[in-house]
Each structure stands twice: as structure tokens, then as C-alpha cells.
Structure 1
Amino acid sequence: MRSALLPLIAALAGALFLTACGTEQAGGPIASPSPSGDPCGGQSPSTAAASPPGPADAEHDGVRITGFGGGSQGCAAFKVTHTGAEPFTYMITFDLLSDAGTVLDNTERTVERVAPGRTVWGTLRLSESAAGSRNVSGVRIAKVRSVPADEAPYTHGPCPESGLRVYADDGDAAMGLRVVSVHVENCGTRPYALHGYPEVRLYDEEHEPVEGVRILRDGSSVAGATGADGPALPIVVGPGESAWAGLVWRNTVQAGTPVHAPYARVRVKSGADRVMAVPELDLGTTGKLAVGPWKKREEAPASP
């Protein structure tokens, strides 16, 4: 009798597992813990046949993969535990792996406002990734970034109290030259005046200030023809309009220790709210970063 019941029990467990996975939208923010705990049923993370994820792949910077069910309709469960002194927003990049351990796709999740001492649960719906119908045999944590919740950058959702969305894009790279744009979108109801350059302060992976890097004005102080140059002219960003300023650097590595500054605390002008953007600045040993002037969106950033 017991052996006859085992297939039925397994089928019911699988059905419950997939139902739980279907309650979240992949890529969307998670604001509160799941009331039922681990939404993937407490299963252990699966491992890829040729390249099993090690401890660093399954747990990183307060994020842990807690369950996995493979295949194109499966899901992965994870949790975020925050031990800091103020609420933080987490941005997590996951790699989806094939049987051979190669990366089929990566996907990102944002976990908003995790309070000190709290744990928040979330899921990835594998069917909504670019991996499509290919079999996903493993999931690993590729990268974790976290910023103070009150300084988190947002590209969508409710308009901040400031009336501005401020964030950095993924940028362009060519032959060691890097260009990332800081964007300002006026989602409010009033015009916003800008003149000059954004204020930028750099921070490392431990959220400590990066010392020894010169912040220069005008992108041409590092390289020309990036679009992040020219005079700093007064502009007005009306409701529904946007502006941008370029960050330009080279990642040349010579003598010394290369500098990696994933975070940049930005103020669009003196006295404005601070936003912790995540431009991932691999500054090499050059010791300098150029900041271009604010420009209206119609002056699109140029590729290096």
C-alpha cells in the first residue's frame, strides 16, 4: 500500500510546488515576506550536471537560493535576509544554467525595502525568462547589489516625492573606453531646472567611499566624441521630459590596484535628494572619472 501511494504523493507535491511558483511575477519587485514561507516547497537547489553551483553561487550578500524545480515551467525560490541598520533595496541577478552548466539566460529581481533583521521570500518563474522552452537545470546567484531604500533608483512605478526618477543605464564599452549615462525623468507635475553637472560620489562593494579617484568635469577630459562634453547650459525638464549626463572613464590597468566602484551616489544638483545609482564603474588604475553636463533627452548619448 505504501509503495502504491508514493507516486500519488509525488504528483501532489509537484502540483503544489508549481502552484506556489505561479504566485509571483518574474522580474517584478517583492515588498513583503511570503506568508507561507518558502514558496518553492523547501526543496534544495538543483545543481547542473557539469558545473554544480558551489556555496558562493547559492548564497551571496544576504541572498540565498532555497529551492529549485527545473524545466521550462519550473521555478526557483530565494530569500533575502538584511542585517543592516536601515531598510535596503536589493537588486539580484540570477544565472539560469543548462545541463552542461552553461548560462542560458540571466534574470534580475528587485526586492524593495527589506527592514533590518527581516527575511523576505521570493521566486523566479523560469517560463518567463529568455531561456524559453530550453531545460533549465540549475540556478545560481550571479550578482547582488543593495542600496539604502530611500535612495534606491527606479525606472518605473510610483513617482518619488521629488518628482524625479534618477538612475544609471548599462552604458557602452569599446576598446577600454566606458560611457554610462545618468538619467533624470520628470514624472511630477512641475518643471525642474538643471544647470551644470550632477554631483557624484563613488562607493565600493562594501558601501565604503572610494578614495583616490579624481572626479573631472566634461567627458572630453577622458575622451572626445562621447556626447558627454560641451558647455554646461541651463535647461528645464518639463513634466514627462528627461535629461541625461554622461560618465566617461577608461578601465586601463597598469601599475597599482584596479578600482571597482559599483555604486555612485548622485545628486542632480546641490541640495537635491540623493540617489544611489549602480553604474558598475571598473576604473582600472586610471584614477579618474569624467562627468558630463546635463543635456535634454533630444541630445541622445553617443556610443564611444
Structure 2
Amino acid sequence: MRRPHPRLLAPAAVLLLATACGTEHTATGGGAGATVPAPRATVTDPPVDGVRITSVTIPAASPTPSATPGSVHADRLPGDSGISAAYQVGNDGDEAMTYTVLFAFTTDTGAVMDTTEVTVPAVAPGRSTTGTVDLGTLAPGASPVTRVKVEKVSKVPAAEAPARTGACPASGVRLWADDGDAAMGLRVVGLHLENCGKRDYTLDGYPELSLLDDDREPVDGIRILHGGAAIATGTGFDGPPTPLVLKPGETALSGLIWRNTTLAGTAVNVPYVRVLAKPGAAPVMVTPDLDLGTTGKLGVGAWKRAES
């Protein structure tokens, strides 16, 4: 289950695709019922936290007979929608950053028909990179998509980016956070560790956590408590720490546990968490979007062997 509390780092850049999906016109030399394909629309909207959409494309729809002579009725193409957006990611900072961008494809009224998440690794300082995001296939009965927006941008130092796949990091382990579960105000996000190296990897205790704000600066005033039971029982992270030896290819699991209760005071949101698997380990920065409310505390489970 995806977490129900996405964080917007900046106002979303909403792009109306009027030139790309407007009224169909009868062609002047293509025969009865022919249509003029919609062109790619250039976009000049400002970037959202370094990410901007440069153009959008919505293909011409297939014509069908119309009750009005000399006109056509546009139906959505079957299968793949063909809708796409070209984007650019620019890094104006002083270190290489890895970006995770959530693109939303919406209707005129803002209803989200689909989202696509793209990770852009290691954008060097002062440099930019480009790519294309595709809508893919719309669900049956979905309303026409006419807008694209940058829904959310997260960026972490490239040297600390989580790695679920790809080349094994120099540390010999991969560490990442999952999408988590939420029920009745209780949040649980799993921290996964895989020994992708060639040597055994030992664990004995709890991950070390540093809580960071939007600017990746420390967040004060939050107690980090050992064990899921410090927040709620039955989360699966109540057990005490036990020594683990992970052979190459084996995995371990920890968890972040919190409630989003909001009472008196100011609610606290923590977008970034720097994780050390054990003292002296290479840091990894994950983005669990902790909506801690006014509780002032976060639970962390001891490392345990992951079930195969």
C-alpha cells in the first residue's frame, strides 16, 4: 500500500495540453474523415525543484463516423495511450544528486488517472539531463488525460542514494525503504538490507537514524525509540536485537514505526532519513515522508533476518 501522505516540495507545475489534444479538424487533402495529428506542444513553465517538463505529446485519435456532415469524432486510441512528456532535470547545487520524480497524468478537473515514478541517478552539479515519461495504458473507462504535472520531487546525494537493483555499492550492501503500510493512523515502513558483496556481513542491533528536513538539515525534538512496541504492538518489529551473519545474497529487515496523531502543537513532517545499518557503515538516505503529527517520537525495529 502506498503511503497516503505525499509531500509536495514546491507548487506542482500543471501543464494544460491544449495544443496537443484539442479539437480535431477535417484534413483538406487526406480524404473523408481524415484528421490532422496533434503536434508535440512545447512547454515553458518554470521547474519544480529542478525538474521541468519541456514538451508533451498526445497522438491524434482515430476518427469514427459523426452525425454532423464534414466533422469527425475523436475516440481514444485502444491499448497504449501514446501520451508522453519530455522532461529536464537540472542540478544547481554543489554535489551530484539522485532525483526521484513522480509525474501525474490528470483530467481537466485535476483527477489523477495514473502516475509514473522516475529515478534519475547522479546528476552532476551544474549539469542537467533529459528523459521522457510515458503514460502507458489507461484503465478501461478512465477519463481523457489533458494535463501533466510534476507531483513530487525527492533528491538525495548520489553517494547516499538507496540501491534496490543495479551494481552492488562499494559498501557491499544495498539498503532501501519500501512503500510502507498505513492503517488507523499507524505507519510502518520497512528498511531492507541485502548483502550483495562477496563477504559475510554482520549485524547486531538497530539501524542508526538521522532525521532531515526538506533541505536535508537535522530535525530536532523527535525521540527515536528502539522497538516497534514503543509505538504499537503487533507491527512485527517488537523483538530484541540478535546477532546476524548475512551470507552473500541474504537479506535483513528493520522497520520505522510511527503514528500521525495531531493534538496540541505543531505537526512535524520529516521527508528524509539518513540510515546507517550499523556504526561506521556507509550512510544511505531514504525518503519515507514521516508525518509524525505532534507525537514527537519514532520507533525503529532491530535488524532481523528477512523471510525468504
Match of 1:154 in 2: 163
Identify the residue that residue 278 of structure 2 maps to in structure 1.
Answer: 269
Q: Tell me how many residue pairs correspond in the alignment.
A: 256
Shift of 1:239: 1.3
Q: Which residue of 2 aligns with 1:50?
A: none
CA distance in 2 between counterparts of 1:132 and 1:76 reads 22
Matches within 5 A, 1:168-179: 168-179=177-188
Task: Say whether residues 1:285 and 2:285 are aligned partners.
Answer: no
In the TM superposition, structure 1's runs of 4+ consecutive aligned residues that sit over 2 Å from their partners are: 98-101, 129-136
Aligned to 2:266: 257
How far apart are 1:115 and its partner, in Å?
Answer: 1.1
In the alignment, the residues of structure 2 paired with residue 170 and residue 251 of structure 1 have an alpha-carbon distance, to the nearest angstrom, of: 16
What letter is aligned with 2:191? V
Question: How far apart are residue 101 of structure 1 and its match?
Answer: 2.9
User: Does 2:53 match 1:65?
Assistant: yes
Output the amino acid matched with 1:114.
Answer: V
Q: Which moved more, 1:134-143 or 1:225-234?
A: 134-143
**Residue from 141, 153, 161 that aligns with 2:150:** 141
| SS of the residue 1:104 aligns to | strand
* 2:115 paired residue number: 106
Specify the code of the residue in structure 2 equivalent to 1:66.
T
CA distance in 2, matches of 1:132, 1:115: 41
Q: Is 1:126–1:136's contact at 8 Å kept on the other side of the alignment? A: no
Does 2:175 correspond to 1:166?
yes
Indicate if the aligned counterparts of 2:174 and 2:194 stay in contact, CA closer than 8 A: yes
Alpha-carbon spacing, 1:121–1:160, altered in 2? closer, same or farther (3 Å): same
CA contact (8 A) 1:68 1:138 kept: no
Provide the TM-score with structure 1 as the length reference: 0.78
How big is the alpha-carbon RMSD for the aligned residues of Structure 1 and Structure 2? 2.4
| 1:153 match: secondary structure | coil
1:212 is the counterpart of 2:221: yes
- Work out whether residues 114 and 135 of structure 2, in 8 Å CA contact, stay in contact via their aligned partners in 1: no
Gaps in structure 2 of 5+ consecutive residues: 1-26, 30-35, 60-80
SS at match of 1:60: coil
Offset from partner CA, 1:66-101 (integer Å, 9 cap, x none): 111125113101111111110000000011113443
- 8 Å CA contact 1:167, 1:184 repeated in 2: yes
Identity of matched residues, %? 51
CA distance in 2 between partners of 1:116 and 1:42 (Å): 29
| Code of the aligned partner of 2:165 | H
For residue 225 of structure 1, the aligned residue among 212, 223, 234 is 234
Output one character per residue of 1:93-128: Cα deviation in whole Å (capped at 9) or x when no partner. 01111344310111101111111111211111222x
Shift of 1:219: 1.0
User: Partner amino acid for 1:295?
Assistant: K
The equivalent residue for 1:44 is 43
Specify the SS of the correspondent of 2:229: helix
- TM superposition shift of 1:130: 5.5
The alpha-carbon distance between structure 1 residues 264 and 211, as it changes in their structure 2 partners (threshold 3 A), is: same
1:239 aligns with 2:248: yes
Cα distance in 2 between the residues matched to 1:236 and 1:70: 53
- Residue type of the alignment partner of 2:287: V
8 Å CA contact 1:262, 1:279 repeated in 2 = yes
